[in-house]
Structure 1
Amino acid sequence: MNKSELAKAIAEKTSMPPKQVASVLDAAFDEIISVLKAKDSVAIAGFGTFATKDRAAREGINPSTRETIQIPAKTVAVFKPAKGLKEI
């Protein structure tokens, strides 16, 4: 399911126009992204938690040349599902 299919499904359940639902979804995703950029977390009860995690720099191997390379440290987004979602 992609975003437009999700918006259409929500529109059918809420009797809202699909374009309005799509704009609400866009606003929600934008807000989650801005909170994650601030290195905070978003917890949605019964669904899960979006958070950030710092990954340390490490050595890796280029598979085509077998040369050792340095992989830089970075911050990544992670999702931890709630208990109810894990049991699906």
Structure 2
Amino acid sequence: MNRLELVDRVAACNTASKAEVDRIIVSALEEIINAVRNGESVTLIGFGTFKAVDCAARTGRNPSTGEAIRIPAMKKPKFIPGTSFKELLNK
């Protein structure tokens, strides 16, 4: 499912227009990204938690040449599904 399909499904369940639902979804995603970028974690109870994790610098290999390359330390986004979400998936 892509964003537009999500908008269609949410709009079908509500009285809001597709344009309003799209603005709300985009705004919510932007706020989640901004919070995680600023070092905060975002917990949606029953769904999961979004946060940034630090990844240490490491050595990797160029798959074409086999040459060792240095991969710098960075932050990566991480999603940890909530217990309710995991239980629903495994029913």
Same fold by TM (over 0.5)?
yes
Number of residue pairs aligned between Structure 1 and Structure 2:
88
The percentage of aligned residue pairs carrying the same residue is 40
Aligned to 1:7: 7
**3-state DSSP of counterpart to 2:39:** coil
Letter in 1 for 2:84: G
Aligned to 1:75: 75
**3-state DSSP of counterpart to 2:22:** helix
Distance in 1 (alpha carbons) for counterparts of 2:10 and 2:34:
24
Aligned to 1:59: 59
TM-score by length of 2: 0.93
Distance in 2 (alpha carbons) for counterparts of 1:17 and 1:61:
50
**3-state DSSP of counterpart to 2:69:** strand
Distance in 2 (alpha carbons) for counterparts of 1:40 and 1:28:
15
TM-score by length of 1: 0.96
Stretches of 4+ moved more than 2 A in 1? Answer: none
Task: Give ranges in structure 2 of 5+ residues lacking alignment.
Answer: none
**3-state DSSP of counterpart to 2:12:** helix
CA deviation string 1:43-78 (max 9, x = no partner): 000000000000000001111111111000000100
Q: Give me the CA root mean square deviation.
A: 0.7
Letter in 2 for 1:82: G
Task: Give ranges in structure 1 of 5+ residues lacking alignment.
Answer: none
CA deviation string 1:20-46 (max 9, x = no partner): 000000110110011011011000000
**3-state DSSP of counterpart to 1:11:** helix
